[in-house]
Structure 1
């Protein structure tokens, strides 16, 4: 297996190799929008940002800031993460 090589970040950038393990959870005040087919289906200033070694940052949007209908439907499927749980 080939080892990944670190690339030094430029000014104003972050390196995924500097992120912690276990992951760190941060509040984010950035304006996050999800646009699907030209329609805003999520819009928040209250996202959570997850940082984990060798992974790109991930933003979690509060459920109340997501327009579920008609884009999402209930399912019996589930997933599990060792850090976040179900």
Structure 2
């Protein structure tokens, strides 16, 4: 496995088949993706330019990264979709491993797949682990001194490098005290 570290950026080959779609059409299909850690907590996929089947039209946008160099941006086009500035390359990057790769803006694509399973938000890190365990711990959730949840049957979620999360059965929650909101969270491990 190739690994290249420079500054805060780490590059590793992934053995997974990765695909993305735009307008219901294939943008790329590769069995040679690279995982690139630009933000320390999770990786991004970089795709070999030879595996991109969608049209990439150069835009006037150029961005600079101190560790990756200057990125030339592209509009991604399929016959049924277009995403402006949704792909970029670092052709003269100080990181040689990035020079022939294309990075795609995750939310600009309609869907992403690892093998035949859809992946949301970002790729899963091969170095993170998520475990859920049933527990008999007593968990109370207080808001302004009022108990909104009280349970002795939570499920504890342990994720590498993150605080433990506690999930309680809905029957142990006083839902009448809660107000629905439009807020939605997403996680590539736990879903939406």
TM-score of Structure 1 vs Structure 2, range by shorter chain = 0.5 to 0.7
Distance in 2, Cα, partners of 1:75 & 1:38:
21
Alpha carbon RMSD of aligned pairs, Å? 2.0
Q: Which residue of 2 aligns with 1:36?
A: 143
> Among residues 67, 81, 84, which one is paired with 2:187 in the alignment?
81
Gaps of 5+ in 2: 1-7, 9-39, 41-126
TM-score by length of 1: 0.67
Greater mean deviation of Cα atoms: 75-84 or 43-52: 75-84
Structure 1 gap ranges (5+)? 4-19
In the alignment of these two chains, the number of paired residues is 68
After superposition, give the CA deviation of every residue in 1:29-72 in whole Å (9 maximum; x if it has no partner).
101001222221100011011111111211111111111223x2
Output the CA distance in 1 between the equivalents of 2:161 and 2:185: 21
- For residues 161 and 186 of structure 2, what CA distance do their matches in structure 1 show? 20
Pair member with larger Rg = 2
Name the TM-score, length of structure 2 as normaliser: 0.32
SS at match of 2:171: helix
Q: Which runs of 4+ in 1 moved over 3 A?
A: none
- Which one has more relative contact order, counting CA pairs under 8 Å at least 6 apart? 1
| Structural mapping, 1:1-86, within 5 Å | 1=8, 21-70=128-177, 72-86=178-192
